[in-house]
Structure 1
Amino acid sequence: MSGQHTVAHDTTATAERTTAAREVRVGPGRAARELGLKGTEFDLAVQLGRIRATPDDGGGGLRVDRAEIERLRAGPGFPEALRRSVQAVGTAEGAALIDVTKTRFTRLARLGLLVPVKFYLNRYRAVVWLYLAEELSLFAADDRNTPLLAGRTPESLRSLLDTGIDLRPRNWRARQLGFMLRRADDPWARAGAVASLLDPLHVSEAVPDAHDRSYLDRFRRRPPFHGAPGSPAAEPAEELMTARDPDEIAWLQTDLTRLTEEARAHRPAPRPAPHRPGPARRTREAVKPVRGTSRGLLGRWWRGNR
């Protein structure tokens, strides 16, 4: 009986510790509610590092420590200040915020002077870029940017616009890479973050070893868009996630080669066990045909079928 009592006591204690741990760390939904954020705002706050979240030990997604929630709730201007820090606006609202026309706003974004933080697809599957309102306000408040907000656009910038330049996808990818690297806690995960922005051909050029590439693929991140891979709704996101410019590709490949070498030194990629031949099978002893038996049977068959 004493043994059974000990087992029951241990089980109860373990359950109590598990319950206490769950109370200390909460899931994204509960954390967002307690911080007064929408789900999309919470996700962006985590990406930007405004909220510190860690992977769940059981593989159930992100968790937020109770202490982190209390830290944010005790911050000045909560919850309005936290919501403002993750407020994302489109072209029309962004243009009004910095007091320019929508056309000028788009030109500034195409030139890479305004960097999108996220995007969504409208009902026509067209890309709609969103920008941090906080960053737009800082851009407008900088006196060095005053000539860009009023008057004629400088000739050098107009020439770039005439070439069809659009740095919004590239700048978004760079920012997305920063988000992924911030959450990567393993050398292979860091290499996988870079690989997420390259197509398979460019990955194979940077990482020639097939076993390394196979392992690396486990750490590649999907585009931040809810759509089945390969579906029409997901295609625009997959295209935006993939580097297109030659210099961007070269830069990412250089980083990928370096990070993969570092990851391999930290922990080599798994490789299949070498093939070991099993014990040799015993061959049947050759039976010498008895004269007049095997040859006789074959002979009779042959004579009967002539």
Structure 2
Amino acid sequence: MSGTTVTQSATFSLSRAARELELGRGEFDLALHLGWVRSVPDEGGGGRRITREEIDRVRTEAGFPETLRARVKAVGTTEGAALMGVTTTRFTRLARLGLVVPVKFYLNRYRVVVWLYLAEELRQFAADEQNAPLLSGRTPESLRDQLGEGLDLRPRNWRGRHMGFLLRRTEDPWARAAVVASLLDPVQVAEIVKDPYERSHLNRLRPAPVSQAAPDSPGALIVERITTADDPDEIGWLRADLGQSVLEAREDHPAPRPAPDIPAVPAPAPVPSAGRPTGAPPSVVRPSPGGPPRAARERLPAAGGLLTSPESARPRRLLTWLRRRSPDARPPTAP
């Protein structure tokens, strides 16, 4: 009883841990992704949990909880542009060029993708003197040409960052391979992982979807486009990474497979004993002509005796029967 109580009180669910750390659920999820709060696997298979020791560690840090909230604060384009002292148009250009990387996204009620960025990273970018030419003046011509061709690295940069989040949460080689596979189209995965049992195992370990939208809904299709690699360079890099990850997983332990079918071995046919007709039960014997019935099987001899056949035992049984019939009878003498 006491052991069960210790196990249950040693860790907390994610929602309980968020309350203990005075964070909203979105802030807490970012704290997990960024490594500010460390989680452990649930021994019962229920996802991730937070230990009591980890909560105490975070709460004892200087400036808690304001410092932790500042680390995980995410802002959109308008607030991000204000933090960096630029217009929203320039901020969007910087994001499309990959100079600032989104940390998460969501779909608004009009199914428009809203990208969010870490406020702390934006402040650091703006404070770096090397980035001053990008924050004011005319955008370099080479960058303008890329923007004119439709360059938008926000989805790709988010995928790379999200993959890093997921890889930090597991050491299992098959689970790590499943993280890489989750960013590729299933056709790409099938070309790399040809074994159907290995693909099935990767699907079982696939990370939880980013969106909770119903499958095949318009919102789910938009999220799928964002979470699936589409750039040729990115696809080639992920394919190579998946192939290497699966090789390492195979060396660690093979993917589970169904047990092979073992054919049933038929029972051996009964072998008829000597002197007994085939199919007759052992206790059924035919009477010998001209004499009393005999046993179906020979009896074991008495201790120190010899095995006697039924035929040689018949005269002795007959003499015994005659003596019982006439107590005064005497065996005939030889002439």
TM-score by length of 2: 0.77
Change in Cα spacing, 1:23 to 1:273, as seen in structure 2 (3 Å) is closer
In the alignment, which residue of structure 2 is the partner of 1:304? none
SS at match of 2:218: coil
Match of 1:160 among 146, 150, 163: 146
Deviations 1:122-159 (A, max 9, x none): 00111100000010001001111000000000111111
Moved over 6 A (4+): none
**Do structure 1's residue 46 and structure 2's residue 38 form an aligned pair?**
no
Match of 1:187 among 159, 167, 173: 173
The structure with the largest alpha-carbon Rg is 2
SS at match of 1:146: helix
- TM-align CA RMSD: 1.5
Match of 1:28 among 14, 18, 24: 14
Give, in angstroms, the shift of residue 72 of structure 1: 0.9
Change in Cα spacing, 1:236 to 1:27, as seen in structure 2 (3 Å) is same
Kindly indicate which of the two structures has a greater share of residues assigned to helix: 1
CA distance, structure 1, for counterparts of residue 266 and residue 172 of structure 2: 44
Give, in angstroms, the shift of residue 30 of structure 1: 1.7
SS at match of 1:183: coil
SS at match of 2:117: strand
Which deviates the most, 62-71 or 249-258? 62-71
Alignment of 1:44-123 (within 5 A): 44-123=30-109
**Do structure 1's residue 252 and structure 2's residue 252 form an aligned pair?**
no
SS at match of 2:219: coil
Which deviates the most, 214-223 or 268-277? 268-277
Change in Cα spacing, 1:20 to 1:275, as seen in structure 2 (3 Å) is closer
Which structure 1 segments of 5+ residues have no match?
1-14, 283-306
Change in Cα spacing, 1:18 to 1:275, as seen in structure 2 (3 Å) is closer
CA distance, structure 2, for counterparts of residue 111 and residue 130 of structure 1: 15
In the alignment, which residue of structure 2 is the partner of 1:273? 259
Counterpart residue identity of residue 22, structure 1: Q
Match of 2:134 among 148, 155, 164: 148
Counterpart residue identity of residue 146, structure 2: L
In the alignment, which residue of structure 2 is the partner of 1:171? 157
CA distance, structure 1, for counterparts of residue 197 and residue 203 of structure 2: 10
**Do structure 1's residue 136 and structure 2's residue 119 form an aligned pair?**
no
In the alignment, which residue of structure 2 is the partner of 1:215? 201
Count of aligned pairs:
268
Change in Cα spacing, 1:281 to 1:18, as seen in structure 2 (3 Å) is closer
Contact 1:192 1:219 in 2 (8 A): yes
In the alignment, which residue of structure 1 is the partner of 2:294? none
In the alignment, which residue of structure 1 is the partner of 2:303? none
Give, in angstroms, the shift of residue 216 of structure 1: 1.4
Deviations 1:187-226 (A, max 9, x none): 0000000000001110011112222111111111233122
